[in-house]
Amino acid sequence: MSKIYERLEKCYACFKSKINFEPDVALVLGSGLGDFADGIKTEAVLDYGDIEDFPISTVQGHKGRFVFGYVGDVKVVIMQGRVHYYEGYKMEDVVLPVRLMKMMGAKILLLTNAAGGVNKDFRAGDFMLISDHINMAPSPLIGENAEELGVRFPDMSNIYDRDLREIVRNTARDLGISLQEGVYIQLTGPNYESPAEIRMVRTLGADAVGMSTACEAVAANHAGLKTVGISCISNMACGITDKPLTHAEVQETADKAAPLFKKLITESVIRLGKAL
């Protein structure tokens, strides 16, 4: 048995000793978007610190806990705050929560994040359905392969599942919510990008930039967890405008977008649940 899987089993055993719940859909809530979990029918809450050998979120505004409950009739587990590579964790730690939610029973993963807009047609407050990504952080699959989770060389041609994207796209249309679509690029952070770096990622084909998500999607795909992702464009990236970037601005924009975000995510999860 791989060391990665041994550690995962320890975390799972700790979870099972505290929570009796098997989710169908897993959600990861990005910066400023965590309040969504406070509005669901909650069955249980588990702080990351109460799970043996589990990484702790240190970013301001990230509560650092799993919330278990229902969105409509769909059983969900929600990460209220994620772990980032820039916090000093190994990439194995960063993707451990996603792998654990798969082991909990989740079949679909919905990733969200606050991202900088690279596409000049975007505006702060827009939502972007992630069609693909460019990962410029270390791959979470480097090192020993957890064969119990997936193959050594997994295909990545459909990381953000086409059928799930169609469900979210149709949901937004039916709700009258404008939904952009594009490529997300993950850099390491924690510093915001320079104007030259934004010119570079635009040349590479990125529409939005952030410090998370792509690595989680890779690990989920490796483990056979169907994935879909939505970015909240919290600000235009450095160099697109002359305005300096701050984390407070990211949270403020996400807070303003929260009512529409909650509406979109709620109905999307209900429809994703019906697709199981």
Q: Which residues are catalytic?
A: 31, 62, 84, 86-87, 114, 211-212, 235, 247
Tokens representing residue 125 in the block: 């407050």
Using the structure block, give the residue that is written with the tokens 């919330």: 67
Name 135's bridge partners: 186
Report d(CA 159, CA 220) in Å as an integer. 9
Report d(CA 223, CA 148) in Å as an integer. 8
Report d(CA 212, CA 94) in Å as an integer. 9
Using the structure block, give the residue that is written with the tokens 């989770």: 149
Determine contact, residues 184/133, Cβ cutoff 8 Å.
Answer: yes
Determine contact, residues 133/156, Cβ cutoff 8 Å.
Answer: no
Q: How would you classify the pairing of strands 226-236 and 127-135?
A: antiparallel
If phi > 0 it is left, if psi is from -120 to 50 it is alpha, else beta; for residue 236 that is beta
Max Cα distance, the chain (Å): 52
Report d(CA 235, CA 245) in Å as an integer. 8
Report d(CA 36, CA 197) in Å as an integer. 32
